[in-house]
């Protein structure tokens, strides 16, 4: 299922075990993937013995493990479909992660056009449908059902199931992203599309719960397995939809708000100014430290300046400066969406705002933008 650090061989803060790179994208295996694969082996091995009598024991377990690997590779192909289209559209992909309920491609920037959103979302199910067709053709070429036929047929069915489920119209599923793109294209507002797709996610989760309960009431043979899987999946859908809604609220520029309302005044001081004086001058505004040759040394970091002033109040303020990087410079005429995208994608606490001639016009602090978005 598709929803969305350094390269080290360890499980930990990177979210899983790095396996390899595909198209330059790190592929990680989350610890929960092993749980899902173990469950597949336990459920699939007895089926092998029933379909192909005499094929049991170690052979059945090996075939079950092979099916788990095939399924993992199918999910990987599904996610690569998303990732490759995103890269084609100029959107970098941080990593691709496989976990208990499927996989996720972590696209680092939000698509700016509904067509791009829809194309990225549709790519994964299209890959799954192609794989389902290819494995179904391979299964039809086997004259009689045996263990190999079962492996191929189950892989075809699994890919078809992944495609169908992901096309359900609710976030965080691909169908929800396609729905968001469609509403976005019609209304011109991504936030409206997100709301519609979040509602769709709630409907999908509710239907999963209803089906789970129906299986228990009806006494279905697989009722408890269905109950557990459906409830877990419903929780996943609800949590993902809620996360998408929260992220949308935090990234949507409020109507009527201008960048000028958030920008604080900026003061230019010599880089050799005493840090204690520069710290005092920074109250309520940003400070650009300029060297004698006219080159900006950076923005005064208030926390660094406080620490330095507590021990060496007459030290040059430049020692508490953060270099001004291209990604931390904003034009005063940038749109709200561009500002939010830049701030969310760049690790910095302050951003220098310049006019069209490149002159400092103010400073935007991350905390001020966050407060404005939260007030919505």
Cα 297 to Cα 103: distance, rounded to the nearest angstrom: 44
State the first-to-last Cα distance of the chain, in angstroms, to the nearest integer. Answer: 32
172 upstream amide cis, omega within 30 of 0: yes
Cα 43 to Cα 140: distance, rounded to the nearest angstrom: 24
- Six-digit token pair at 87? 């890269």
Residue 178 CB burial class (10 angstroms; 0-12, 13-18, ≥19) = buried
Catalytic residue among 79, 244, 318, 350: 79
Largest Cα separation within the chain, whole Å, is 87
Strand, helix or coil at 329? Answer: strand
Q: Angle formed by the axes of helices 57-88 and 114-140, to 10°?
A: 150
Look up 261 and say whether it is catalytic: no
Cα 213 to Cα 331: distance, rounded to the nearest angstrom: 55
Residues labelled as active-site residues: 79
């Amino acid at each position: 299922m598709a929803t969305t650090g350094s390269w080290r061989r360890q499980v930990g803060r990177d979210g899983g075990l790095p396996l390899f790179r595909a198209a330059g994208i790190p592929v990680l295996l989350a610890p929960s993937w092993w749980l899902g694969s173990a469950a597949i082996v336990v459920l699939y091995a007895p089926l092998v013995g029933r379909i192909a009598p005499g094929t049991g024991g170690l052979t059945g377990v090996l075939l079950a493990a092979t099916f788990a690997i095939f399924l993992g590779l199918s999910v990987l192909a599904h996610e690569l479909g998303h990732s490759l289209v995103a890269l084609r559209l100029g959107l970098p992909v941080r990593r691709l992660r496989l976990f208990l309920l499927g996989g996720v491609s972590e696209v680092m920037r939000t698509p700016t056009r509904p067509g791009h959103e829809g194309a990225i979302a549709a790519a994964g199910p299209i890959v799954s449908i192609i794989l389902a067709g290819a494995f179904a053709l391979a299964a039809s070429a086997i004259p009689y059902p045996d263990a190999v036929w079962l492996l191929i047929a189950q892989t075809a069915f699994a890919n078809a199931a992944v495609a169908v489920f992901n096309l359900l119209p609710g976030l965080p599923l691909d169908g929800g992203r396609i729905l968001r793109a469609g509403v976005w294209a019609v209304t011109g507002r991504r936030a409206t599309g997100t709301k519609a797709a979040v509602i769709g996610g709630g409907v999908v989760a509710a239907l999963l719960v209803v089906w789970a309960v129906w299986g228990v009431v009806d006494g279905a043979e697989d009722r408890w397995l269905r109950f557990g899987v459906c409830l877990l999946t419903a929780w996943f859908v609800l949590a993902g939809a809620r996360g998408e809604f929260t992220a949308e609220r935090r990234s949507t520029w409020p109507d009527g708000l201008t960048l000028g309302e958030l920008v604080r005044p900026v003061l230019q001081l010599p880089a050799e100014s005493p840090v204690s004086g520069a710290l005092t001058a920074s109250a309520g505004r940003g400070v650009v430290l300029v060297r004698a040759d006219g080159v900006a040394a950076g923005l005064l970091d208030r926390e660094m300046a406080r620490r330095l002033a507590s021990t060496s109040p007459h030290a040059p303020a430049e020692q508490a400066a953060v270099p001004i990087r291209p990604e931390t410079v904003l034009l005063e005429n940038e749109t709200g969406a561009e500002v939010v995208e830049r701030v969310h994608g760049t690790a910095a606490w302050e951003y220098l705002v310049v006019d069209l001639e490149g002159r400092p016009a103010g400073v935007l602090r991350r905390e001020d933008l966050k407060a404005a978005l939260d007030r919505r």
